[in-house]
Amino acid sequence: MNKTIIIAGLLAMTQLDTDAQSFIGRQTPSVKDRSFSPELLWAMGRVGSASASPDGKQVAYNVSYYSVAENKSHTVIYTIDSEGKNEKLLTEAKTSEVSPKYINGGQRIAFLALDAEKNMQVWSMLPDGTDRKQLSFEAEGVDDFMFSPDEKKVLLVKTIKYGQRTSDQHPDLQKATGRVITGLMYRHWDEWVETIPHPFIADFDGTKIAGTKDILANEPYECPMKPFGGMEQLAFSPDSKTVAYTCRKLEGRDYAVSTDADIYIYNIETGQTQNLCKPAGYKRPTVDYTESLKGQAVNDGHFNGYDTNPAFSPDGKYIAWQSMERDGYEADLNRLIIYDLKSGETRQLAADFDSNVDAFVWNADSKSIYFIGVWHGETHLHVADVKTGKSRQLTEGQFDYTSVQLFGKGLLCSRQSMCEATELYFVNSKNGTATQLTHENQYFKDNIDWGTVEPRWTKTVDGKDLLSWIVLPPHFDPNKKYPTLLFCEGGPQSPVSQFWSFRWNMMIMAANGYVVVAPNRRGLPGFGKAWNEEISENYGGHCMDDYFSAIDDAANNLPYVDKDRLGCVGASFGGYSVYWLAGHHEGRFKAFIAHDGIFNLEQQYLETEEMWFANWDMGGAYWNGHPKTFDNSPHRFVDKWDTPILCIQGEKDYRIVSSQAMAAFNAAQLRGIPSQLLIFPDENHWVLKPQNGILWQRTFFNWLNKYVK
């Protein structure tokens, strides 16, 4: 339920296929009746990482394409100019090429591609895609890379072995499959932890990368941090002499129960490392991690929480990073901190913005920082002044900005909405006006009739204002009655902003004739710190009341909502919400769908891998005074279940283990309630494979059409 999914997650989500047999590229499938479908959703291109040329005249970027028939994906590299013209496909290989970055003053593009042994290596090419040359020759391959400003050094992220295998402990049992576990965290997200990433510094002479040295040699710690950390967790200083990196230098139980990651700087010449968040000899406060972390939150004047993503100012005077204050709280306010490299003083910028700083970039003059943050269900660009610390919003509109970097005299950003998949934009850094550069999915935009999205504010049971997005079907007729879905967000503290999803897609729901009510209930950022934090240790509280407030308002006051045809759907914490609402809805809904939801909180407390989450949100272990959160476990209200329910789960999901969905399904079956279980043996908390994705959509709508429509 980690809410932060950053750029490194792209490689996992695009399912890089090293054995692709055909070139999977841009698709223009036939569109029946101008109607959006799951098959069309999977045919769309997915714009990924992008790099702006130093002269501000060109962008290199990734797009991922999927073949449902082959059940595979393929990621390619395009370039396009600063005016959104002259798009050029640079990819020649049938296998994926990723992470394009301009080098040599923009005269070449470095990227990752397979070598003859099918290991990912760093290559370079001219901006027109010709003259390809392999630069790295690492036996283990390369996960990602970053060139120093002077391009004499390169940071390579590589995977190294972690811990001992059974075969190491028992050399005569080479075919044994058992694992002997001696501590936490032995698995994470969707893998048994047997490898970790490390950053390596290497020399570059203009033609070859060589002489790699592990910055964390003999240290059993991750950098970047799993499961989603990427190159944004490392940075070169402007003079290319030091590297800043993010690391949580903890193991086992301490790693599983703590979010205390720090920012370190590594001197390339001397090999010396300094922790910017803690003084030398610092001892971590003693905390009982089976008790409420919220009640024990440590604030001893140091950075005890989640500190990530360092970036040096262009003038070399400061390092900025994102910082959460409290250890164990992964959804704490993500603040923007700057560190004076001369004085060692730290201070917070944009403290006047009562929401998270989700991504940022220094201005070229080092006098301000551009950042992305959500407010009232929209994620926009803001700018913070380094001198005063004050911030102002730069862009506006009903959409989400999801990345930002400098681009000539402006900014290169990715942007999306519930009505439009991610595209790249040039944003004027003075007035915030945006010009669309890529039109990856223009074919779908032109040939499909799309739904619309409107904001609606509702009063909560305690008199507060609740924002919901109301999604309306194509060709909406206000005089008709429509079946309506309550969408329950996950996270649990992820905003219901203008997100585009390739699974929980609002336009697919609208195309199937449903109105969707998507509330920004208690426990979501973008409405102030207090609103965001009210969910902690209070799962069955006002966050659930808010769902009832939103759907009751829609059913009673929107004439096009058919109160006799309501459904309720959600994933992760949204799945918990579905299971909980199934025992409390008092006949409101005709069907439920829970994906990767928590059914039994006591079970979840001991099953999940990131124990800090369970400790903070549930109030500690259930055997310590039985915190009230456990009293709101959905499994305690199965006796009130009376409505058809579909349970969906991936067996490689180690965040919320598949036994949760199985238990919920079994309970429904034993109660005689119409129920169905969709289980994916090879999927994690997400559904990533094309044919599984289509199966997910078909099963989802077959269930709703049977019981709601």
The C-alpha atoms of residue 215 and residue 529 are separated, in whole angstroms, by 37
Query: What DSSP line would sit under 428-443, residue for residue?
Result: -TTT--EEE---TTHH
Amino acid in the structure at residue 499:
F
Catalytic residue among 96, 653, 658, 675: 653
362, 277, 359: which is closest to 312 by C-alpha? 362
Please name every residue paired with 108 in a beta bridge, in sequence order, or none if there are none: 103
* Residue tagged 């999940």 (tokens): 608
Catalytic residue among 572, 577, 633, 675: 572
Query: What 3-state DSSP class applies to 685?
Result: coil
The C-alpha atoms of residue 426 and residue 702 are separated, in whole angstroms, by 41
- CA angle, 296 as apex, 614 and 634 as ends, to 5°? 30
First-to-final CA distance of the chain: 31
Query: What 3-state DSSP class applies to 92?
Result: coil
183, 182, 138: which is closest to 160 by C-alpha? 138
- Within 8 A by CB and 6+ apart from 100, the residues are 49, 50, 51, 60, 61, 62, 77, 109, 110, 111
The C-alpha atoms of residue 419 and residue 454 are separated, in whole angstroms, by 11
User: Interhelix angle for 542-557 vs 573-582, to 10°?
Assistant: 70
Beta strands at 368-375 and 378-385: parallel, antiparallel or unpaired: antiparallel
The C-alpha atoms of residue 331 and residue 293 are separated, in whole angstroms, by 13
In whole angstroms, what separates CA 347 from the centre of its chain? 27
The C-alpha atoms of residue 149 and residue 430 are separated, in whole angstroms, by 26
Q: Is 572 a catalytic site residue? A: yes
Catalytic residue among 74, 380, 382, 685: 685
530-536 long-range contacts, Cβ below 8 Å, gap at least 24? 531/464, 532/331, 532/333, 532/355, 532/493, 535/492, 535/493, 535/617, 536/294, 536/329, 536/616, 536/617
Torsion of CA 503, 505, 507, 512, to 10 degrees: 60
Q: Is 685 a catalytic site residue? A: yes
Q: Is 653 a catalytic site residue? A: yes
Rg (CA), the chain: 25
Number of Cβ within 10 Å of residue 223's Cβ equals 23
The C-alpha atoms of residue 68 and residue 609 are separated, in whole angstroms, by 32
Asked whether the bond before 474 is cis by omega within 30 degrees of 0, the reply is no
Query: What 3-state DSSP class applies to 467?
Result: strand
Residue numbers annotated as active site: 572, 653, 685
